[in-house]
Structure 1
Amino acid sequence: MGRQGSGEPNEFSRALVDAIDDLRVRRGVSTPALIARAGFSRGYYYKRTRGETSFSTNDVQTIAEALGVPVRTLLEPAITETDRRGAAEVDDRPDAALLGYRLRKLVALHVARTPAPPVDRAVRAALAKRGRLLAGADWEQLLAGEPTEVTDDDLRTVAEFFDVPAEYLLRVAVPGVVDVLDARLEVETALAETGVGIAARSVNAASPAELLAIADAIRAAAPSERGGLR
């Protein structure tokens, strides 16, 4: 049985979506796993994270329970962020160079995990499913760190494709999220590139600095590891 939509999202609804994504990443839960735990359909969940409609208060409690946290753990960051956005006088969007750097990290991990099909084709296909068109030239400009006309909604869909919080591509900094996510991407890319194994719990418990050290160690050890197998 379908659920009734709850209206056009406002600033708080957008901030709530970001808070859900941030907490999901910090707790190491994938988007498909969260959807399954909450008992939502994929379409129901993604319509709300894309900003086509809003989560209801019932949804918020369900998501909090699925993530194993009190409801206030989702609401308080969303309230704080809504207030911050209203008071902010400066634009904290990443510039083209930083956006390109973050996208290249996401692409590197995707390529290490999934050699085919080409990433640009897969990303553009994901956008097309949402009724958005991205020219190949625009994608190349994004990766090169050059200004483009790509919209925030396009970037939200790109973030969804790579399974990272949308704010990773939309904000310079998200306290407690961007540094950890950057470091985890480094570790995951090193693992995927080298095939070296490591306990997931060790990664989840590490600080950003420790994660970067782990990534460096993995890459340094990989040649000798592979050499020993030959």
Structure 2
Amino acid sequence: MSAAAPARFLVVLDADSTLIRNEVIELIADEAGRGPEVAAATEAAMRGEVDFATSLRSRVEALAGVPVTAFARVLARIEPTPGVRELIDAVHSRGGAVGVVSGGFHEVLDTVAPSLGVDVWRANRLATQDGVLSGVVDGEIVDAAAKAAALREWSAERGVDLTRTIAIGDGANDLTMMAAAGLGVAFNAKPAVRAQADVVVGPVDLREVIALLP
């Protein structure tokens, strides 16, 4: 893999309910007929009421048996957050880079991220067997610590001091990343996240973040 290009600054976003309007795991759960129960578990995890990794494993178990072909239907339902393209264009025009780190899944992000102009991204992977989801996460889980580690890794690769990083998220598992960044932005966020963020963006429109760019 080629070395990352240097950047003036780095913006790292969460994916679900930040880069995109959806919670991808809920869309996949709909394919298994288990949407409501997974949605309730996701909400509890985002509020910080349960351990994220434990919650994710239990929610992924509910996806067992969903055919891999269902990802095409899931992708068709993805809605980019208003203003996301404008924000990414603004970052690039100012010499910055955009990363996305997600507790969601590469199976969706690998299509969505490049289509929006994201420079680098990281997420969980879903294990499959015989063309269906096996109900387990393949590899290490991208949790709060992993999100912060990705921000530090990407900033180092691009020669960006951490003081020139911006982390944008909505859920409790974004707080460690937001604390590590030079500026932590709560976007479309749960109360606990708004309370700890440096900046709170109320409108669900990522163009609101452009004024915060260096």
Given the two structures, how large is their TM-score scaled by the length of structure 2? 0.26
Which protein is richer in strand relative to its size? 2
**Greater RCO (CA < 8 Å, at least 6 residues apart):** 2
Given the two structures, how large is their TM-score scaled by the length of structure 1? 0.25
The structure that has the greater radius of gyration is 1
